[in-house]
Every structure is written in C-alpha cells, then in structure tokens.
A and B are shown apart, each in its own frame.
Chain A
Amino acid sequence: TQLLEQSPQFLSIQEGENLTVYCNSSSVFSSLQWYRQEPGEGPVLLVTVVTGGEVKKLKRLTFQFGDARKDSSLHITAAQTGDTGLYLCAGDDMRFGAGTRLTVKP
C-alpha cells in the first residue's frame, strides 16, 4: 500500500486569499486524482494527473504533479466561500489521503 500524506490537515482562510495544499508520498504513482467532498455528499473528481511535471488548470484551481510522480499540489487563487470542503488525493492503488479540510470565510 502506498501511503498518501496530505497537508495541512485543516486550513481556514478569508475569501480572496490564495492557498496551496499538498499530497505527498514516498512511492511513485502512475497517476493521482484530486477530489472535493462537501458535507453530506460523495467526493467529486476534480482532476487526474498522469505525467511527471504536469500542470493542469481548472478555473482558479491549479494542479501540479511532481517530476518524480511522488507528490502533487493544488493551488487555489482568490478563494471563494464555495471552495469550502474536504480536498482528497488518491493514488492508483485506490487509497486516499486523509484530506485537507478547507474553510473559506466571507
């Protein structure tokens, strides 16, 4: 089993701020997925990264896969209250990190 560590565990910021959350492992992954989960709902897939060094943008969200394919980051620009949720990363072994719980305050 390839362990995924996510940091920070909790993050509380004001609307309009920028933030970065991380997903790290000592193992190499063929791909990584990022999900967002809102209270009472199932996780929703945001992006899949497959190539070392890859950068993908989804509106204000920027995802990066490390060159060695062991880590990934998610950067949110000008956070909005609607970005509040639990951000999870998952590797291709079906295991998830514990998540970063983001709260964006108005």
Chain B
Amino acid sequence: NAGVMQNPRHLVRRRGQEARLRCSPMKGHSHVYWYRQLPEEGLKFMVYLQKENIIDESGMPKERFSAEFPKEGPSILRIQQVVRGDSAAYFCASSLSYGTGGFAYEQYFGPGTRLTVT
C-alpha cells in the first residue's frame, strides 16, 4: 500500500488541549499539503511543505497552528489550545514535485482526520 496515510482517523479533544495530526506521504513524494474542510464545504488550503521546509503557510492561522515535515518521519499538523471552531476534517495530500503544474503536481489525498472539539 503506497497511498497517503493519515492518523488518527478520528480525534476527540476537549477545549484547550493539543491536537496532533500525522500524515505519511506516498512513497517517493516529497511534497505535502494540508487542507481543512468544514461539513458541506470545499477544501481550504492551509500549508505546503517539503522535507524540513515550509514553503507556503498563507492559509494557516497565525496562532495555535503549526506544521512540520521532518527529514525522517511523517508530517505533523499541530493545533494548540483547540477551540470548538477547530472541529473539522483535516486532509493531507502529497505530490511528486511542484513547479509549473502538470502531472508532477497531481495531489493524492489521505482519508483525513476528523477532529471533534468538545
């Protein structure tokens, strides 16, 4: 199975706790993207990372949210001091490369992590 893996699939946190969402990209992919999706809505871009680098974090809230993609291991999206408004599905995608578009840019998505803040 060389697909994008995300865990956990479901995560319940109380207000004020921390949420850590993990994403392992497809084998051979070095580009990772995180998106948030509210019920009945589209995907909202959050952050784009390459190994050890954040390339574009323009869609990520400045406070409480952070992301990393270390040299070894999965990409992590971290939400500190969660609030009810953070409840959503968080999707990770990976691609072979990024450049001027085209087939190398095609994103493959994981199954998502559904975060519920109580």
Contact = CB atoms under 8 A, between A and B. Distances in A.
B42 A30 contact: no
Q: Using C-beta atoms within 8 Å of the partner chain, give the interface range for chain B.
A: 20 to 34
Contact of A31 (B35, B58, B105): B105
Interface residues of A, number: 25
Label chain A's interface by main secondary structure.
loop
Interface in A81-106: 86, 88, 90-92, 94-99, 101
Q: Which of B33, B42, B101, B112 neighbours the largest number of chain A CB atoms within 10 Å of its CB?
A: B42
B42 A44 contact: no
A33 interface: yes
Interface string A1-32: 10000000000000000000000000001110
Interface of B: 4, 33, 35, 40-45, 48, 56, 58, 91, 93, 100-103, 105-112
